[in-house]
Amino acid sequence: MTSLSPQPTKMDKGWDIDQKTALSALGRRNLIDQIVKYISLTAVIFSLSVLAILLIDVLIDGLPVLNWNFLTSFPPGGPKMLALYRRWWAPFG
């Protein structure tokens, strides 16, 4: 007997599934399918709701101070940023 000759396979028992078992298994598989679908939908909704919370938070905190005076005056911490900028360039001349 060479290794090339077909080996007898014992699949008979493994494939012997009656329709009832298959259908009940299918029901369970479909249930898991639905669960996975809604879990992945939850992930999208969660990400988007974080975005919504963030935007609402920014608007609540930001809108009251957003006026013309704010836009035209110097930003807070301006001179400090200028000093940082100057120091950053110091080693290059």
50-75 core/surface letters (b: 16 or more CB in 10 A; e: else)? eeeeeeeeeeeeeeeeeeeeeeeeee
Which parts of this chain interact with another protein (CB under 8 A)? 26, 29-30, 32-33, 36-37, 39-44, 46-48, 50-51, 53-54, 57-58, 61, 80, 84, 87-88, 90-91
Nearer to another protein, 36 or 66 (CB): 36
Closest approach, Cβ 38 to another protein, in A, equals 9
- Cβ closest to another protein, residue 10 vs residue 87: 87
Q: Which is nearer to another protein, 58 or 66 (CB)?
A: 58
Minimum distance of another protein from residue 50's CB (angstroms) = 5
> DSSP assignment of 14-77, as one string?
HH---HHHHHHHHHHHHHHHHHHHHHHHHHHHHHHHHHHHHHHHHHHHHGGG-SHHHHHSPPTT
Q: How far is the CB of 7 from another protein (least distance, A)?
A: 23
